[in-house]
Structure 1
Amino acid sequence: MRLEACGELRQLPAGESPAISAVMFAAGALGNVLALALLLRARRRRGGGKGQRGPFHVLLAGLVGTDLLGTCLLSPVVLAAYGRNSSLEALGPRVCGGFGFGMSFFGLATPLLLGALALERCVALARPYLYARLRGRARAGALRALPALYGLALAGAAPPLLGWGRYEQHCPGTWCFVRMRRGGAYPLLYASLLLALVAAVLLCNLGAAAALLRMRHRRPGPPAALAREMDHLVLLAVVTVTFVVCSLPFTFRVYVNHFTQSENYQEDLRALRFLSMNSIIDPWIFAILRPPVLRLIHSVLCCEMSCKTKKEAPTLAVEQAELNKQTDLCSQ
């Protein structure tokens, strides 16, 4: 099917199944609700969060809430198209444009929040004394940063609504996004912005990891504090890897569609689903890699290593005794 004809579809092609979209919607909604519930539970255990709910948790709650909102706003539209066997263009005159704007907005809001999380950890670990003095104001700053980040995502997604770029329906007619082939400079700008966010998040995470290693080497500090920082860093690192893996295929397809004449809507759809998987996987990562779970994994690993060491200790002692015996015989 020609990509130009995808925008003219009014019915879905034969054989299209809603199974994948339905599973993605269910997994995303359930995972984000679970993650929000765990955040609220952790806050209650801390006595309402007074003085302890730092900027990291504020931004993390914003990230989970944004993913949940995006899943609940966009996925039902796709399922409605499957249910009526109609394309988004056939559902209404503004459905495609609204869906495309939502895709663009949430596609930028999630990495912006992830970048803010990475920057917060980098500053907290690289400048701990400054961060400790500003901790109270940092939490208030995180609350103010959320609207600012949403504003940046809005600014990045709005140009097609103002005439720069265009939203169009893509095959198989169940999703709309910016026109990637002969769409002008805006698709390249959008893809380049995603790549810049990928690079910024990676740099901040590397800086935070290097600062944590220096902290442990020069000034070991309280074990509980170091363990807490390591928990945050592990969670952020796994979420970042997921973000990179889910975002790069989409940016690659944008560049390919812009500079070549290839027509492979299946690859485009696969890249879109990769991008959508980011908001689905993130909450499950948080649920699995919560500090209590990480501490449990650490305890199990330490226990296994300790037991293994104890079992090997007698063998090592026997081997050392035999070696000493042979050394004594050779010296006679």
Structure 2
Amino acid sequence: MAPCENTTTLHTGGKVVSSTLLFTAGLIGNIIALAILYKHKKETRHVSVFYILVTGLVVTDLLGKCLISPVVFVSYATNLTLKALPQHDGLCDYFSFSMSFFGLASMFFLFTMALECWLSISHPFFYEEHFTRRRVVIVFPAVYLCSLLICSLPFMGLGTTKQYCPGTWCFFNMARDGKNSVSFSVLYATLMAILVGAVLVCNTSAAVNLTKMFKQQRKRSNSSLNGSRARHFAHYQELDNLILLVLMNVIFLICSLPLTIRAYIGAFAPDNSDEDDLTALKFASVNSIVDPWVFIIFRTSFFRKLIFACCKDSAQS
């Protein structure tokens, strides 16, 4: 049995300072990101579909932080584990569900952003006809509903939840469950892996097609320079969105890969290493903290001028 699975007091390895810093960084980052998005909406008459989806991602990350982190702070403040807190019935299940729900919802938003970026570059006519701002709003209830249905499976008998050290974490049990031939952890990890793969395919295809567009514009030497610039800068927004999306997905891949690996190890070659499981969970939680800061840094004038300069040099060459 795991050392912290049924304990009532926190394990000595718990560090409230690091949890507080991570929560503060995530909260401030998401609020600043929302402020930037609001400013963009005020300054720009036409808000792109990509920015609507980015807003959904930021709001999801912010909700996750606000609904999960307070439970951790209460546990630290009372020196009691989640299973020992007053009126704790269902608290561990709530924590596990919230972790998996917001992680999956964020991945769905990243996939939708990648799909939108790919269609806008590779199939512009189809994109203009079908990807309208009114229609893309449907993505929000669809993402949350799918995530809700999938993450509710443990409550229907597929898999179980488990308390991890130092006692302030709960997540689905990543060890093999004797009651089910296929545990929820394998299903969850497989779905995340599929979404990550789909995102990588969309981003790669979009990058290849965008590169071809720039090369074709370079070969049009008979056109005037101003005309060449106009055509070249027409794809600046797509390049801008693509780079931001690639950065976010690299971070998500790094953060989600350990959890996926641990889920498969627990299902097919269990080593009962709670320490490794907890490390994977911490990596997964960091994604919602780093993503908004990547967006904030990328939206600074320095990074945008750098990209614009690259486009300009390419157009003049």
Pair in the same fold by TM > 0.5: yes
Q: Which has the higher helix share?
A: 1
Give runs of aligned pairs for residues 180-199 of structure 1, distance below 5 A. 180-183=174-177, 184=180, 185=182, 186-199=184-197
- In structure 1, distance between residues paired with 2:262 and 2:119: 34
Give runs of aligned pairs for residues 144-223 of structure 1, distance below 5 A. 144-183=138-177, 184=180, 185=182, 186-219=184-217, 222-223=231-232
TM-score (norm 1): 0.84
Letter in 2 for 1:55: V
Give runs of aligned pairs for residues 220-299 of structure 1, distance below 5 A. 222-290=231-299, 292-298=301-307
Q: Which residue of 1 aligns with 2:15?
A: 17
Please say if residues 108 and 156 of structure 1, whose CA atoms lie closer than 8 Å, have aligned partners that are also in contact: no
Please say if residues 240 and 307 of structure 2, whose CA atoms lie closer than 8 Å, have aligned partners that are also in contact: no
Letter in 2 for 1:159: L
State the Cα distance separating 1:21 from its structure 2 match.
1.1
2:66 is matched with which residue: 61, 72, 75?
72
- In structure 2, distance between residues paired with 1:153 and 1:68: 16
- In structure 1, distance between residues paired with 2:55 and 2:283: 23
Structure 2 residue 59 is the aligned partner of structure 1 residue 61: no
Moved more, 9-18 or 85-94: 9-18
State the Cα distance separating 1:75 from its structure 2 match.
1.1
Please say if residues 236 and 311 of structure 2, whose CA atoms lie closer than 8 Å, have aligned partners that are also in contact: no
Give 1 or 2 for the bigger CA radius of gyration. 1
Structure 2 residue 116 is the aligned partner of structure 1 residue 120: yes
Q: Which residue of 1 aligns with 2:5?
A: 7
Letter in 1 for 2:164: H
State the Cα distance separating 1:216 from its structure 2 match.
1.7
State the Cα distance separating 1:265 from its structure 2 match.
1.7
Please say if residues 228 and 291 of structure 1, whose CA atoms lie closer than 8 Å, have aligned partners that are also in contact: no
Letter in 1 for 2:135: G
State the Cα distance separating 1:217 from its structure 2 match.
2.3
Q: Which residue of 2 aligns with 1:44?
A: 42
Structure 2 SS opposite 1:8: coil
- In structure 2, distance between residues paired with 1:35 and 1:196: 28
Percent sequence identity over matched residues? 39
Q: Which runs of 5+ in 2 are unaligned?
A: 218-227
TM-score (norm 2): 0.88
State the Cα distance separating 1:213 from its structure 2 match.
1.3
Give runs of aligned pairs for residues 303-314 of structure 1, distance below 5 A. none
1:140-190 CA distance string (max 9 Å, x none): 121011110111111110001122211121222111111111233221111
Please say if residues 176 and 270 of structure 2, whose CA atoms lie closer than 8 Å, have aligned partners that are also in contact: no
